[in-house]
Every structure is written in C-alpha cells, then in structure tokens.
C-alpha cells in the first residue's frame, strides 16, 4: 500500500511516465527511460550521434571486441561531480580521463570503454549534449572506443543531474611488471605535475565561497606519460592521485610496504592559484584531487631519466622528484620536510573535505 504522505509524488511519477514527450521538450523526462520510443530517440540523437566514432552499436546487447594479443586488463569507475561542468572539463570528459588513467598507470594500453548514464529527470538536453560531446572528444584524444552502454532515468531529486559509470579494457605491457611489492628502500617518488589543480578548480566552480579565478582542472589523459615510464627498467609502480590527492597515495604505499615515506615540501609543485585557494579556505593541496597527474615510484638509477622524459612533454613540464622510501623502526609514516627545514607528519585523511569531486 502506498502511504498517503507519498501519494502526490507517486502520482506525479506515474503521470510523467505516461505523458508524451515532444521535440519541444528541453529537459529529460521519466518517459526517456521507459524503454520505448523516447528512450530510443534519446540514445540515438545524443549518445550515438556524438559517439559514432566509438563503434557503439545499439542493436546489440553485447559488443564484440578484438583486442591484440597480451594480458587483458580491466577497470571500473563511477563519476559524480558537483557542478557537472568546471573550468578545464566536465563530468563527461572526466569519465573518459579517469577510466583511461586507471588503465594507463597499471601499465596497460587503454582500448575499449563501456558507459552507463544515470540521468536525472529535469536535466536540460543542451547540458547533456555538451557532456557527451566532451566525452567523445576525450575518447578520440585518448584513442579509446566506447563500444557498449546503457541509460537509466531517475526521478527528480534522486540524482545530481547525471552520474556516469564506466568499465575500461586495455592490454597489458608484457615487458612491464609493476607492483607495490617491487618497491625497495631508497626508491624515489616522482609527481608528473602540479598537485591539487582539479580539487581547487571544482571549489571555485561551485561559487559558494565567493571566490573567482582562472584556475583550471588538470584533467587529462596521462597515457603518454605512463608509456614513457614503462620503458624504464627501474619503474616499480604508478598511481593517479585522484580522491585524497598525493597524501592518500603516499599513505597507501607506506602501509603496503611497511616503510616510511619522506617528502620534501619545497620539491612538491603547487601552482600559486591553488596555494591561494587553500590558504583562504584552510585546505592542504596534498589532499586535493588531481585528474591528470601520475605518481611514479622508480629506482634511483632511473629517476633522473624519467624526470627528463616527462619534462619534455606538455603534461610533465612541472614534474619533480618529491620524496623517497626510507626504512625506520617506526614504520608506515609519511613525513614531510618543511621549507623551513623542520619536519611534520602527514596524517591519513579521515574526513571528506570536498564531496562529489570525481
């Protein structure tokens, strides 16, 4: 039995599902998720239209793929960002970059993606189209194809405009054997660029702090950087520092290796705009998300070579050796040497300082 207090909303949902949609509609309705003509039109006029170069075949329930020989690697991810669009990207391009980067830092060549879109009733078609266009451009740039997908419409108030969920498939590099267990004492930590750009850009885009600036997200495909790194025999491990930033990555590695990590604050690249935002709002850039950066662990013998390679690429111009693994009787700490020469412990992130960031 439907409770009386919920009956009006229940009737509204039923009426909207039965209400015909027309070409003059500017927003998503529940009818676009009922499996009928309007859902087909939504898929064909927006997703297929802009993802036509991705081998997306809506007539099949499963997509045939023909990966080259090698070990298949798979990843899955979900994306929820507020706002949907921010300086330097949007949730559409972010979904591609995030999935591709997870494969890339694992030493794989990204090839195929699937896409699930959870669209909220009331989202404007113009917004959806911008997101899909951006997604298509990012996929083309990354050299990946979206081969299968699904759409679901959720009632108004039960989403944040749109959520994307992806699965990525790539082929591993047979000559690259990465793993946390490969990390040794003395191995060095290299960051491919400035940290915290994405997190700070999203904060500015929310306009809830009264701040303005021209800061852009660092969201990008890092495959060119990881491809360079995998050619060096001393490469141990790679990770993209998304939620929780490089501080969280370092804590995960310290715990897994039972070693301390020593960072040097003066070597960590932080853009002036990010520093200003963090100083005003009380954030630490080491905990802010990056969406186009790589943290690489590499032997001292090959660290200079990787640094030189990365700095020759536009995505790696600010690459820097920021720390190393050290043995200590009191293990699993992340210690940073401050610019004044002192030391402080970087604590593990517990609170969620910036929700809906990636």
Count each helix (H run) and each strand (E run) in the chain, helices first.
10, 13
356 falls within a domain: no
Asked if 211 contacts 235 with a C-beta cutoff of 8 angstroms, the reply is: no
Q: Indicate if 324 and 213 belong to the same structural domain.
A: yes
Same domain, 238 and 337: yes
| 358 is a domain residue | no
For residues 250 and 261, the answer to whether their CB atoms sit within 8 Å is: yes
* DSSP secondary structure, 179-190, as one string: -GGG--TT-EEE
If you average pLDDT over residues 220-237, what whole number do you get? 97
Return d(Cα 233, Cα 301) in angstroms, integer.
10
Instruction: Identify the pLDDT of residue 124.
Output: 96
List the one residue out of 230, 94, 61, 74 whose CA is nearest residue 162.
Answer: 94
Residue that has been written with the tokens 């020759």 in this structure: 312
**Segments forming the whole domain that contains residue 242:** 180-345
Which residue did the predictor score with more confidence, 341 or 169?
A: 169
Q: Which of 103, 138, 172 is the last residue of a domain?
A: 172
Domain of 335, CATH number, reads 3.90.650.10
For residues 79 and 101, membership in a common domain is answered with: yes
Please tell me whether residues 193 and 124 are part of one structural domain: no
pLDDT tops 60 at residue 111: yes
Q: What is the spatial distance between Cα 73 and Cα 169, in angstroms, rounded to a whole number? A: 6
Q: What is the pLDDT of residue 54?
A: 61
**Residue 208, pLDDT score:** 62
Given 172, 202, 229, which residue is the final one in a domain? 172
- State the DSSP H helix or E strand holding residue 341, giving kind and residue range, or none if neither: none
User: Which residue, of 138, 153, 172, is where some domain finishes?
Assistant: 172
Q: Is residue 352 part of a domain?
A: no
Mean pLDDT across 228-233:
96
Is residue 357 assigned to a domain?
no
Q: What is the pLDDT of residues 3-48, one digit of tens each?
A: 444 445 544 544 554 554 555 678 988 888 877 888 888 888 888 8
**Average of pLDDT values for 210-227?**
89
pLDDT band at 62 (very low <50, low <70, confident <90, very high): confident
Based on the structure, what is the number of domains in the chain? Answer: 2
Radius of gyration of the chain (CA): 22
Tens of pLDDT, residue by residue over 274-287, are 999 899 888 899 99
Q: Could you tell me the CATH number of the domain that includes residue 90?
A: 3.30.1330.10
Are 138 and 233 contained in the same domain? no
Residues 162 and 217 both lie in one domain: no
Q: 326 and 285, same structural domain?
A: yes
Q: How confident is the model at residue 155 (pLDDT cuts 50, 70, 90)?
A: very high
**Residue 350, domain member (yes or no):** no
Asked if residue 338 and residue 222 are part of one domain, the reply reads yes
Q: For residue 355, tell me if it sits in a domain.
A: no
10 and 147 inside one domain = yes
Bridge partners of 254?
none
Least confident of 47-51, 107-111, 185-189: 47-51
Domain co-membership, 203 together with 254: yes
Verify that 194 and 151 share a domain, yes or no. Answer: no
What's residue 10's pLDDT?
A: 46
Q: Is the confidence at residue 351, as pLDDT, over 90?
A: no
pLDDT tens per residue across span 293-318: 999 999 999 999 999 999 999 999 99
Question: What are the tens digits of pLDDT across the range 242-292?
Answer: 989 999 999 999 999 999 999 999 999 999 999 998 998 888 999 999 999
Same domain, 10 and 88: yes
């Amino acid at each position: 039995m439907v409770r009386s207090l919920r009956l009006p909303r229940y009737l509204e949902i039923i009426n909207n599902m039965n209400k015909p949609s027309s070409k003059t509609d500017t927003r998503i309705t529940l009818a676009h998720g009922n499996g009928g003509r309007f859902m087909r039109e939504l898929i064909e006029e927006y997703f297929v239209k802009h993802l036509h170069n991705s081998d997306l075949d809506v007539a099949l329930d499963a997509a045939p793929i023909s990966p080259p020989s090698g070990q298949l690697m798979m990843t899955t991810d979900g994306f929820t960002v507020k706002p949907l669009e921010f300086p330097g990207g949007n949730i559409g391009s972010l979904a591609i970059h995030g999935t591709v980067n997870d494969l890339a830092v694992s030493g794989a060549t990204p090839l195929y993606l699937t896409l699930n879109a959870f669209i909220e009733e009331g989202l404007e078609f113009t917004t959806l189209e911008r997101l899909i266009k951006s997604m298509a451009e990012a996929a083309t740039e990354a050299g990946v194809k979206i081969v299968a997908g699904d759409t679901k419409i959720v009632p108004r108030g039960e989403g944040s405009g749109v959520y994307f969920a992806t699965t990525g498939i790539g082929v591993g590099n047979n000559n690259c054997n990465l793993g946390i267990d490969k990390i040794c004492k003395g191995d060095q930590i290299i960051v491919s660029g400035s940290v915290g750009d994405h997190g700070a850009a999203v904060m500015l885009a929310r306009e809830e702090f009264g701040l303005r600036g021209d800061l852009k997200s660092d969201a990008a495909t890092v495959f060119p950087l990881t491809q360079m790194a995998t050619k060096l025999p001393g490469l141990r491990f790679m990770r993209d520092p998304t939620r929780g930033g490089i501080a969280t990555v370092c804590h995960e590695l310290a715990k897994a290796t039972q070693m301390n990590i020593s960072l040097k604050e003066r070597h960590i690249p932080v853009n002036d705009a990010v520093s200003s935002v963090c100083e005003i709002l009380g954030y630490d850039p080491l905990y802010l998300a990056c969406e186009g950066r790589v943290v690489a662990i590499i032997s001292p013998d090959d660290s200079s070579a990787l640094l030189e390679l990365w700095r020759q690429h536009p995505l790696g111009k600010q690459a820097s050796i920021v720390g190393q693994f050290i043995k200590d009787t009191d293990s699993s700490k992340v210690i940073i040497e401050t610019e004044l020469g002192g030391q402080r412990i970087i604590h593990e992130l517990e609170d969620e300082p910036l929700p809906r960031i990636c």
